[in-house]
Chain A
Amino acid sequence: MKLFKITKYLLIAVVLVSLAACNDILENVEPATSVSGEVVLSTEGGVNALRASIYSQLRASFDYTTEYFIGPSAFADETRARPGATRFQGLNTAIGTSGTAHLTSFGSTYGIVNDANLIINAIQEGVLPQATLDQYRGEALAIRAYAMHHLVRAYGYEPGMIPSGAIDPNWDLGIIIRNTPTIDVADADERARSTVSQVYDQILSDLGEAKTLLSGITTPNTRVTEPFVDGLTARVNLYAGNWGPAAAAAQDAITNSGLGLVSTADGVAGMFFEDQGGHPEAIFKLDVNPDTEPIGGSNVNSGLAAYTSSQWVSQIPTNLVIDLYEEDDFRLGSFVTDVDGNVITDAESGLREYEGGWYQPCQNDQQSPIAPVGGCDQVNDEGLSTNKWNGGNGNLSDDIPIMRVAEMYLIRAEALAKDAGSVTQPAQDALQELKDARNAGTIPAGALTSLESFETEVLNERVRELVVEGHRFWDLKRTGRDIRNPDGSIKMFYDSYRILGSFGAGLLNVNPRLCENPGYAEFPVENCGPQ
């Protein structure tokens, strides 16, 4: 009897314990909106989602949209803050030790690079048909090159462009090359910066491989295609001083894209409106669904249009920009006049009516009773804002043209002349072709007198054509020019240490092998660890 009792308790105890023998129960818990790496890299759906991520990150990142396009204008002389508005005011003034790090982001760039690296190196064999895999890898290589180029121009001098007055006349460090994916925490090792030429070699090699992989793929322009690889190759070679390859690649981009220049007044005026022109010159544009795909978390706060043409209406084109246009330039537009030549004023809004071009009188839409949009006339005499980024499709964000065919004509013009060492006819023709399309007259005779004056004219044409499209500061830097304020005063000499960005304490503390650029006193170059 007693034994039986003990056995019974023992049995109950065993049942009790075994019921919870449950490591298995704990293992089989899976998240609903996340998945593990193996699932992504070993299934077609997973790889497609990873591919989407590269584009989605470019679109969602403030650093690769609003800051990418408007930052270089605000940091140089193309735009200034409307009185009372503060967005990018810091870039306008840029006092103290601020450098070009403002214009890019280490974190965003390497986030995109890591996605690309996963597609390039980590997709399991057999998941995709070879042709599809080639295409995805080509896209990833091109975007890796695009992101790395954006970063290297912020942190390093262009090849051969170290200024004579630099603190260290031999300073040639570029950025860290990451061409393998981070899958495990062990992959997140500490790396040193490569030299500028090593970085450019890597970028051009990526682009070469991408061109092979994407050969013959020319549409749609909402994805990376061969013409975009051509265009990026042209741009990178232009920065690298490889004039011949730059000109050739620009021509390839024009040819392979099959895109022409828009050449009517209405066409030019509407080309940035997604609901009108829909970006007819875009070699590559990011598709944006304004309702569901925010920039920097919120189109209303951080979108391109929010910074330039609505909401904050913060960065306004300067007189330097407006004054560069000929009177009838399609890109400028004009005030509407009556038969007597007087400007017509709209009775209801009290605004002077404006027609055409990429500009409009500063919107007077009162965001609240006490904060009307005003003060644009303190930035440019006509009180114009630019509506290149207009959010016409709603919710302050349209598709974003990353690269337009017009830039290719400008690259060709500059590179052909520099390659020849003189202002050749083909160089003139490339520039004139663009001017003709824009009804912008002929190249002034003075611009043809020397290579330098021609370069100046090309840079001016780049302002007219590419204002707030992410070029101005970089154009001045890559040509070794000082950065000026709109009134011509010096903002930053080219040989100032501030022309290169600062990595800052956060990155340097984590990675002792990362060298700060010279001149940023808190982290002297001597503190760099083993390279």
Chain B
Amino acid sequence: MFGTSLAIAQSGSLTGQVTDSESGETVPGANILITELERGAVTDVDGNYEIANVPAGTYNLTASFVGYRTYRESVSIQAGQETVVNIELRVGAVGLDEVVVSGYAPTTKRELAGSISSVSSKDIQDVPLQNTESLLQGRAAGVRVTTTSGNPGGAFRVNIRGTGSINAASEPLYIVDGVQISFSNQSGQTSTSPLNAINPSDIESIEVLKDASSAAIYGSQASAGVVIITTKRGQEGRTRITARAERGVRSLDPRVDYINGSQYLDYLGEASAINAGFSPANQETFQDAFNTQRDAYENFFINSVFGADPNSPEGSPQLAETNWQDIIYTDGVSSKYNISASGGDDQTAFYVSGGYEDTEGTAFDTDFTALRVRSNLDHKISDQVSGSLNLNLSRTTQFGVCQDGNFINCPVSQAMFEPIFSFPYLADGSYNPNTRFGLGNNPVAVRDEVDRNVAVFQIVSNANLTYRPTNWLSFSGLVGIDYRNTQDERFDSPIVRPAQGGFLNFANRNLNNITMNLTANGRKTFDNVHNVSGFIGTEYRRRYSENQFVTGEGFPGTFFKVLSASSTPTTAAGTNTEWRLGSYFGNAKYNYDEKYYLSVTARYDGHSRFGANTRWGFFPSIQGAWLMSEEDFFNVDFISELKLRAGYGTTGNSSIGDFSARGLYSTVGSYLGATALTPTQLANVNLSWEEAVEVNVGVDFEALDGRLSGSIDVYQKDNNELLLARPLPGDSGFGAITENIGSVRNEGIEFEINSVNLNTSDFLWSTRFNIAFTSNEILELPDGEDIDPNSTTQSLRIGEAIGAIQVPKWAGVNPADGRPMWYDIDGNITYNPEQSVDAVDYNNGIENTVGGFGNTLSYKGITLDAFLQFSFGQWALASSDYYFTRTPDFRMNLEEQVLERWKQPGDITWVPRAVESGNDFTETANFRTQLGTNSFNNASYIRLKNVSLSYSLPGAVTDRLGIGNIRVFATGINLLTWTAWPWYDPEIAFSPTDIFTNVSAASYPTERQVNAGIEIQF
């Protein structure tokens, strides 16, 4: 515009060298940043840096490098002069001057008064995970991350500070480099996550805005917290290339123990003899009856049910002994290759990367591949105008399997449902049709004849233009695109679907999610002590999604898997939906002499989802901090920094149906070819957001010369105006109307600590630890009435937690006859407990204590990092195991616990006598389906989440080779788990939006992966 040449004449430059404060050695690769200008450089091989053309003025300069405390100094640049600043970095943990991304403007940890957890690239560099959510598990205090499916690329339930909603989603808002990511319209064929698009190697940091005072800047989308993912950027300096390759194995451990065939026949023989009236007390007659019945069952199974094992010796047919778990779960191979280059000059900086990954899961042929490329460009057009372009393209594919639930064609349920006596193939090699659910559900037929292919193409991209008319003010505009195309393909060959001649189901799903915003950002200091900064902005977001579904039946064979080969097209369907959000927001910050901090934030959101009367909502917050250690009176020597902070704010939850406020007629089938429309929803012009009000109080501290640092946060979060159905008189034709009624409270304490325990010239030992406690309580429900008050696992009762369990108390087994017993509400033994009368409160599904514990040891280029993650307090029902593998009703596998069963009068045990089916006990509730306190197990666990060992070749060697650095490493995830949970996986969450988390049903378990690789830097 104008004044450009003037600016050059008025500018100077900044140079210097960065060294280690103890050894005096130079530090190459350190980041130097002039905070106000957001301009920086990276030190070269000799630790030198230079930043040219800096307008004259006084600035805050920071220098940071992995493993060192961030250095901070105020510098004055004189026009036409070179200013030299040499910097000594001190080894240490995260300091208060670390830059964090907390919203529409970066800030320093010093300024923060809310609650934010950070995970940086160094914490995750050797973690071989497929997506971003899993990186948060155990690493961010108060963030509960639960695997909902262990298949590679599968989804997670991420819960920040407890469940605050009942009917609206309680997933956090994810933002990648300013682009808000949508989680809707995902694959219907397998468990997946939109964050699979982001290469974990490209991530610079992840910030989790946990409390309302931090998150309020995102207004109506923020009540479940905000996760901000920032990717790596180039810095001025030499071009650096990093290449990395790794390979590994993925496996499942442990297995569930089922009884063998002989034990199974014993069990049935015993059950049958007892049912025939023989008493086990009379050993002789009982043994005869047992033998007869056992033989009868064996013959019945061979002749009428399962058939003989095709490998039986000639003329003597035998039952098969098939370990289906071995067939269903096989080890997978994983390989991953990444290359990245970054660098730049004083005008342009770049970070480009490309990566390919192929990871096989264990169940059937599950597989995840990802091809991802990224280009992050920053360019300074003039002294006043700069721009950036981030482009991330990804194509991920998954070969999926069906997931949670007692479905007869899902591998995990098949591993329990398919009994030891059935077998995969007949003697001629064809599929055995006499498996538990017939040929179409023979596990090997499902494995080989059913394809579930998911291909996802994603663009996560943004362009940003900044105009900085003076050094205290800037205007910035951003356009962000989150585009996702998902192609789901399910092919069932004619072999498994003979009646239809096979079918092919194809779904094409598009998601267009656009974010645009404009902000004005200012920062100014008056009289050297009054620091004022802030921004105002406006934003528009639109999410539009559409689907098309096509199905064809009648395929000539398995060789053509395209719709054109089908003889009969059967389905053609499609739909679309959208929402729009318009916002204004602003933030004003003031601090006095960097001792007293005050920040006020507000956002005003208008959302198309809400009623005409309540379309716009206001979300304010305030936070303040006192850096006590800066006071003159503070003279505690071993504490270098102490900050007290408090925040209060309001956020909203708009995650409801796109048209929940409208009066709607919807399609309800058809009649005589005419589509039918019926009123399905009454309008509620007052329908609005759920609202979260949160108070957060915290302390940050740093002691012992930065060797020890940490924080404590205490919060109380009330989610009010919850969207719940208010029942209407049924004769109106409507059962209920959705209204803003209801309230839930979450409270908790979070604690994070980092320490450098030992630091000699070549040995470094550092530790990180975090733990979070939480509790949940329902405060208010429609008309003061509990919802499903008698439900075992899904009751919503005022004063109780979401996910509370209530179930009759288990009383063990009657020693006289082996019948199961329960207690009634009065404490008397009963054989027929009644849920609505006799159930007692018994634990809940909340992980009330979670956290992580990591240690890093380095010695002369060798680094060992071990990270443990833990979860306590959650109780759950393993419903499939419980309903199907404790009695032989359906001839499915039986768990080994039945070996502990009651066998004769006087036996004291907790497993009832053998039964042919769960209702064999006379006048006793069905043991298979009657739940008791014995049906719920503690799902607490401690998991060795990640161990990595790496070795960097000495500089002398790499120098001679002309290479920057070579590092070899071995790393593993989920290596060991300590838990009392007797089945595959104690991570219990049915789906990413499960609010009860107290029931699992044949969930795809978390897998173990061990990789080894090499990383070379040029």
Contact = CB atoms under 8 A, between A and B. Distances in A.
Contacts of B575: 32-33
Nearest to B584: A20
A185 B728 contact: yes
Contact of B732 (A5, A40, A187): A187
A106 interface: yes
Given A9-B469, A185-B737, A31 B668 contact: no
A23 B665 CA distance: 24
A107 B730 contact: yes
Contact of B305 (A39, A40, A369): A369
A52 B675 contact: yes
B576 interface: yes
Interface in A40-66: 40, 46, 48-53, 55-57, 59-60
A503 B469 CA distance: 73
A500 interface: no
A46 B674 CA distance: 11
Interface string B546-588: 0000000000000000000000001000011111111110000
B679 A37 contact: yes
Contacts of B783: 509
Contact of B665 (A32, A36, A289): A36
Contact of B582 (A22, A35, A37, A176): A22
A316 B520 CA distance: 77
Given A31-B577, A37-B679, A185 B684 contact: yes
A277 B577 CA distance: 45
B662 A34 contact: yes
A261 B578 CA distance: 56
Contact of A185 (B581, B662, B682, B731): B682
A53 B732 contact: no
Contacts of B667: 33-34, 49
B35 interface: no
A129 interface: no
A510 interface: yes
B638 interface: no
Interface string B671-692: 1101111111111100000000
Interface string B645-687: 0000000000000110011111111111011111111111000
Given A20-B540, A56-B671, A36 B677 contact: no
Contact of A178 (B434, B732, B735, B891): B732
A25 B516 CA distance: 14
Interface in A57-89: 57, 59-60
Contacts of B540: 19-20, 22, 25
B423 interface: no
Contacts of A31: 577, 658-659, 662, 664
B672 A49 contact: no
A17 B586 CA distance: 12
B582 A292 contact: no
A56 B584 contact: no
A178 to B, nearest CB: 5
Interface residues of A, number: 74
A3 interface: no
B277 interface: no
What class of interface size applies to chain B in its complex with A?
35 or more
B376 to A, nearest CB: 26
Interface in A170-211: 175-176, 178, 181-185, 187-191
Interface of B is mostly: strand
B905 interface: no
A189 B729 contact: yes
A182 B669 CA distance: 21
B679 A25 contact: no
Contacts of A8: 469
A183 B665 CA distance: 11
A158 interface: no
Contacts of B967: none
Contact of A56 (B437, B582, B615, B669): B669
A369 B304 contact: yes
A347 interface: no
Contacts of A292: 669-670
Contacts of A191: 729, 731
Nearest to A18: B538
Contacts of B304: 369
A242 to B, nearest CB: 26
B11 interface: no
Given A46-B677, A111-B733, A189-B729, A29 B671 contact: no
Nearest to A111: B733
A106 B658 contact: no
A336 to B, nearest CB: 27
Nearest to B578: A29
Contacts of A32: 575-577
Contacts of B578: 29
A106 to B, nearest CB: 5
Nearest to A291: B570
Contacts of A110: 730-733
Interface stretch (A113-121, A337-345, A440-448): A113-121
A16 B662 contact: no
A37 B683 CA distance: 10
A214 interface: no
B677 A368 contact: no
B66 to A, nearest CB: 38
B666 A33 contact: yes
A57 B668 contact: yes
Given A34-B664, A55-B672, A23 B615 contact: yes
B605 to A, nearest CB: 10
Contacts of B584: 17, 20
A511 interface: yes
B785 interface: yes
B570 to A, nearest CB: 7
Interface in A319-371: 368-370
A363 to B, nearest CB: 17
A26 interface: yes
Contacts of A181: 733
A190 B305 CA distance: 58
Contact of B580 (A9, A26, A57, A370): A26
B607 interface: yes
Interface in B415-462: 434, 436-438
A368 B438 CA distance: 7
Contacts of B606: 22-23, 26
B608 A53 contact: no
Contact of B678 (A111, A183, A187, A370): A111
A419 interface: no
Contacts of B680: 34
A167 interface: no
A17 B538 contact: yes
A124 to B, nearest CB: 14
7 contacts: A9-B520, A20-B538, A27-B608, A31-B658, A293-B670, A369-B306, A369-B436
Across the A-B interface, the 9 shortest Cβ-Cβ residue pairs: A114-B733, A188-B732, A49-B677, A56-B676, A53-B676, A20-B538, A22-B582, A55-B671, A52-B676
Interface of B: 304-306, 434, 436-438, 469, 473, 475, 518, 520, 536-540, 570, 575-584, 606-608, 615, 658-659, 662-672, 674-684, 727-735, 737, 783, 785, 890-891
Given A48-B674, A113-B733, 20 more contacts: A9-B469, A16-B537, A19-B538, A25-B580, A27-B608, A31-B662, A34-B667, A49-B676, A52-B677, A53-B677, A56-B671, A56-B676, A57-B668, A59-B669, A115-B679, A178-B731, A184-B682, A188-B682, A293-B669, A369-B434
Interface of A: 5, 8-9, 12-13, 16-17, 19-20, 22-23, 25-27, 29, 31-37, 39-40, 46, 48-53, 55-57, 59-60, 106-107, 110-111, 113-115, 117-118, 175-176, 178, 181-185, 187-191, 222-223, 287, 289, 291-293, 368-370, 506-507, 509-511, 514
